[in-house]
Structure 1
Amino acid sequence: MTPAPASVVIDGAPAHGRYAGRIAAIDWAGLQPRPGRLWRRLHHKRWQYVGLGNEAVFIGVAIVDVGWAVSAFAYLFDRQTRTLQADWSQDGLPGLQAHVGDAPLTGADAWFRGPGARLSLREAGGRLGLQVATRALHVDAELDLTAMAPPLLAIAPIAGGLAHATQKTTALPVRGWAEAAGQRFALDGAWAAVDASNGLLARDTAWRWASAHGPDVGFNLQQGYLGQQENVLWLAGAPIALGAAQFEFDATRPLAPWRVRTDDGLLDLMFTPEGARAANKNLGFAASRYVQPVGTFAGEVRTAPRALPRRINGLLGVTEDHASRW
């Protein structure tokens, strides 16, 4: 994987590719010809997602701007009782209730404000501060970027849209706490991963996704609108590009085991769900169908096709089956 470019647009065109390293901003203003304002309003989608967990909990938080609307969600899954102790979401008005900045990591600034809800993800001094204050869930956490492994930067063309870019990290050390259902959970010793995505997407977008991260191994897989561009394995902090991902699961039974693998033979894992968050919306002109199981991965990964396999067992993460008309 080559180093990340300085910009997602070079000489007026998207800098398509799969890279290792941070980018200061995901900014499409330099595209030539530049899409019209109304088209950009309808197709420009941005989000910040954080998934973090330890032996006790898994927490997922997202702030999303789809151009003509904004939304946010936050949930806490108790791994001991295998129940969602908090599951909150809310929609809002663009430009008024949420903001997702162009900086994915350094300088990141995303927030959502709604009735009874305040969420933010902001970087300062090499640390991402994650705050969630809702009726169901409170989180005060800090994610350390100072010694992070090189993150993934993927830029790819989009059928029916134009281009998309995503910056994804592997395991980031966490300290802090969360409160839900009258319980307080310590997050010190947890590991987090960030998904900062920004693109000019098609009206209909679908994907399957898997992400799991620990101190010495992590991976990100996607099958869908971005092809194999964001498929990467981190071993001892080194990112390794992966081939196309295959997801074998029963969409009607998302809590049954999943098999995820890549066609280059570098990753072959079984995923055992412990529980899931799901949401379905249908407004007629817009709709989404989403399920995100939480669980553990086990199997084998390799640095090269003929390399000795490395055994993975009990690696905490998520899978996802998602389709949106937005």
Structure 2
Amino acid sequence: MLAPSQTIPAPESLIDSSGQPVFGQFNGIPKQLGVEKFDYRNSMDRAVSLWGRYFDYKQFQFISVVTSRFIIGVAIADIRYLGSSFCYVYDIQQNKLVEQTWLRPLSVDKVMSSSPHHGLSHIAGRSVMFNIDAGVWQISIDTKTITANITLSPPEGSLPLSMCTPTGYSGWTYTQKHNALSVSGLLIINGRPVKLENALAGYDFSAGYMRRETSWRWASIHHQLNGKTLGLNLAAGVNETGSCENALWINGERHLLDPVLFSFDRANQQAPWHIHSLDGRIKLTFHAKNQRSEKLNLWLLKSNFRQFIGFFSGTVIDNHGVTHQLDNVIGLTEDHFARW
């Protein structure tokens, strides 16, 4: 058996009574982030102004749903100067992606939950809404293509990836993700109901005082494999200070994994991605079939965002030493540069 990473109980508040974040991998979800208690200092140890405290804080939330025919991706982001959201549906059979996007200045027509445990986030007149109730996500979508009112439910006893690491000299990033969750409720695409019996989904709640200029690579899978559910989250670029945000879920059991390297060609997006860990437990290749992309080059802000839909092949070894073979398993990758 391979030793899992050391974990600690989730704190009630991510920011403790001394104004400092609690760092580590958690067995649970903090009830509050407690951002208002953070003793935020600049590089010269001076207290950051109220203006800086507000505009330096960033938060985004994302869900993906995988059915036998469709993949849905929905996000709400708060980068203070701007609120943004996208919602797409990808038809696997037709290799066709249809999306809708929204941009909102400052906090106009946008609300974000301040807690990863409970709260409400919505944008664009509640066209997209995430409701978190005791850590369980309920999703409402009302767009031209999608009508949805669904709940993402983890297997009994399943733990999310929940962690906080230092970011830069003064900041921190909290990330919470959970993959291969069951889906129930109502989903209508192009006026037709979609069966959810075998659908799987996952979410991402990330927040904190992130680097002014940052980038990341990401991979995500929700899959039924040989009668088991398999969820995989791999990332590089944000949470690598002392730990990493890589995890595998087999039938809901969480397996924390070591860091991974992403190799891909930004100039040739049809070339395969190679994702591997130095310990040899992760060896994956990804071939993109379609993508959702967006480039913003504004005065204060820049974003070069590409989320790819495609197929993974290779192997992942869990913490019990069991090898899981993936053969053309559909999933997502992402390459994102942000200056915010």
TM-score, normalised with respect to structure 2 = 0.86
Say whether the 8 Å CA contact 1:209–1:321 is kept in structure 2.
yes
1:111 counterpart = 2:125: no
CA distance change for structure 1 residues 126 and 167 in 2, over 3 Å: closer, same or farther? Answer: closer
> Shift of the alpha carbon at 1:189?
2.3
In 1, Cα distance between equivalents of 2:118 and 2:187: 24
Say whether the 8 Å CA contact 2:66–2:222 is kept in structure 1.
no
1:78 is matched with 91
> Shift of the alpha carbon at 1:238?
2.5
Structure 2: tracts of 5 or more residues without a match: 1-5, 41-46
> Shift of the alpha carbon at 1:222?
1.2
The one of 29, 32, 38 equivalent to 1:25 is 32
In 2, Cα distance between equivalents of 1:268 and 1:236: 21
1:52 counterpart = 2:53: no
- Residue 147 of structure 1 aligns to a residue in which SS? coil
> Shift of the alpha carbon at 1:259?
1.5
- Residue 37 of structure 2 aligns to a residue in which SS? coil
1:1-326 correspondence to structure 2 within 5 Å: 1-6=6-11, 7-10=13-16, 11-32=18-39, 35-84=48-97, 86-104=98-116, 106-114=117-125, 118-124=127-133, 127-145=136-154, 147=156, 149-159=158-168, 162-181=171-190, 184-214=193-223, 216-227=229-240, 228-304=243-319, 307-326=321-340
> Shift of the alpha carbon at 1:154?
1.7
In 1, Cα distance between equivalents of 2:307 and 2:207: 21
Say whether the 8 Å CA contact 1:255–1:275 is kept in structure 2.
no
- Residue 67 of structure 1 aligns to a residue in which SS? coil
- Superposed CA offset, 1:211-259 (max 9, x none): 1123532221111122252112223422222222111111123343211
> Shift of the alpha carbon at 1:275?
1.4
- Superposed CA offset, 1:247-306 (max 9, x none): 1111123343211112222211112323111111111321100111112322111135x9
> Shift of the alpha carbon at 1:135?
3.0
In 1, Cα distance between equivalents of 2:143 and 2:251: 37
- Residue 201 of structure 1 aligns to a residue in which SS? coil
In 2, Cα distance between equivalents of 1:256 and 1:187: 33
In 1, Cα distance between equivalents of 2:106 and 2:175: 21
> Shift of the alpha carbon at 1:45?
0.6
CA distance change for structure 1 residues 145 and 110 in 2, over 3 Å: closer, same or farther? Answer: farther
Say whether the 8 Å CA contact 1:142–1:176 is kept in structure 2.
yes
- Residue 267 of structure 2 aligns to a residue in which SS? coil
Kindly provide the amino acid, as one letter, of the partner of residue 312 in structure 1: L
Say whether the 8 Å CA contact 1:43–1:161 is kept in structure 2.
no
CA distance change for structure 1 residues 41 and 186 in 2, over 3 Å: closer, same or farther? Answer: same
In 2, Cα distance between equivalents of 1:237 and 1:183: 30
**Mean CA deviation greater in 270-279 or 175-184:** 175-184
**Mean CA deviation greater in 203-212 or 144-153:** 144-153
Task: Give the RMSD, CA atoms, in angstroms.
Answer: 2.3
CA distance change for structure 1 residues 309 and 144 in 2, over 3 Å: closer, same or farther? Answer: closer
Say whether the 8 Å CA contact 2:120–2:130 is kept in structure 1.
yes
> Shift of the alpha carbon at 1:156?
1.1
TM-score, normalised with respect to structure 1 = 0.89
CA distance change for structure 1 residues 232 and 72 in 2, over 3 Å: closer, same or farther? Answer: same
In 2, Cα distance between equivalents of 1:308 and 1:111: 41
2:43 is matched with none
**Mean CA deviation greater in 262-271 or 295-304:** 295-304
Structure 1: tracts of 5 or more residues without a match: none
- Residue 194 of structure 2 aligns to a residue in which SS? strand
> Shift of the alpha carbon at 1:200?
0.8
